[in-house]
Amino acid sequence: MSFLNQEEIQLTKEYTDSGYIIRDSAEISSIHYLRDIIVRAASKILNLEFPNNPELFLNTIHQKLAVKDLNSFRLSLIQSINEDSNFRFHYYQTAKPFLHTLVGNELSMQLRVNLSIQLPGDDSSLLPVHSDTWSGDSPYEVVVWIPLVDCYKTKAMYLLSPKNSQNLIDDFKNRAGQNSEELYQSISNEVEFLDIKYGQILVFDQGYPHGNRINEEQETRWSMNCRFKGVFTPYGDKKIGEFFEPITLRAQSRLGMNYKFPKSQ
């Protein structure tokens, strides 16, 4: 029994079958807002003018930045992101209708948005294959992943499909190997690198194995990620208040939480 409408059923099926959906942003002006904040902060750190072509600027940042400076550069940018009081609002706007269908309309959002930068050939900022749930995240969390440049092949992230994840989990003892690289090799023919363009958003289930490889393309990858979950769904290691905060609580939930029964004496 489901009272979802046709459009919701379609999105739900696609997400459940693939472990992700990619859609044009629900609010393209919000994506531009996010990119502008980052490009402005990046050009300031590098003592450059705001570029005429932000996409080219981001794609070729490796020509202006040494690998050794990458992490401090990235951390400064994350600080700028999180100092902007509208950043998370616009982040949410990009995915709002998809989150409402797949997760719910009373949402908790991660307090700090993350930024990843993968320079071509750089092996210092790789994310080995993992599921966030394996290290304590709640299986009720989704990740909204937003690229700031077009991502394809090894410039993109990869995800293992629900079907292949099930096969892996059923035979985990034999396939896990001694380390995460051996685990990756056991699924390397099955993972899908998720092609996604600037202006689109990805929502994926972080409970399926995912990660990235050395970016072997000629351009730098820039992407942001942030978790969302239903406010009243179970929390894992990432708690409400310290990691998540409710962003769309509804009237009766607020009233219910504050409800007091009459005193009997």
Applying CB under 5 A, the residues found at the interface with Fe ion are 132
Q: Which is nearer to Fe ion, 61 or 194 (CB)?
A: 194
Query: Is the Cβ–Cβ distance between 105 and 250 less than 8 Å?
Result: yes
| Helices marked H in the chain | 6-18, 28-45, 54-59, 67-83, 87-102, 162-170, 172-175, 180-187, 251-258
Between strands 221-230 and 114-118, the pairing is antiparallel
Q: How far is CA 242 from CA 109, 235, 239, in A?
A: 11, 12, 6
Q: How far is the CB of 211 from Fe ion (least distance, A)?
A: 7
Q: Which is nearer to Fe ion, 132 or 205 (CB)?
A: 132
The secondary structure element, H or E, covering residue 21 is strand 20-24
Q: How far is the CB of 242 from Fe ion (least distance, A)?
A: 19
| Helices marked H in 125-179 | 162-170, 172-175
Q: How far is the CB of 228 from Fe ion (least distance, A)?
A: 14
Q: Which residue's CB atom is positioned nearest to Fe ion? A: 132
Q: How far is the CB of 132 from Fe ion (least distance, A)?
A: 4
Q: Which is nearer to Fe ion, 54 or 211 (CB)?
A: 211
Q: Which is nearer to Fe ion, 132 or 219 (CB)?
A: 132
Q: How far is the CB of 131 from Fe ion (least distance, A)?
A: 7
Q: Which is nearer to Fe ion, 65 or 99 (CB)?
A: 99
Query: Is the Cβ–Cβ distance between 50 and 117 less than 8 Å?
Result: no
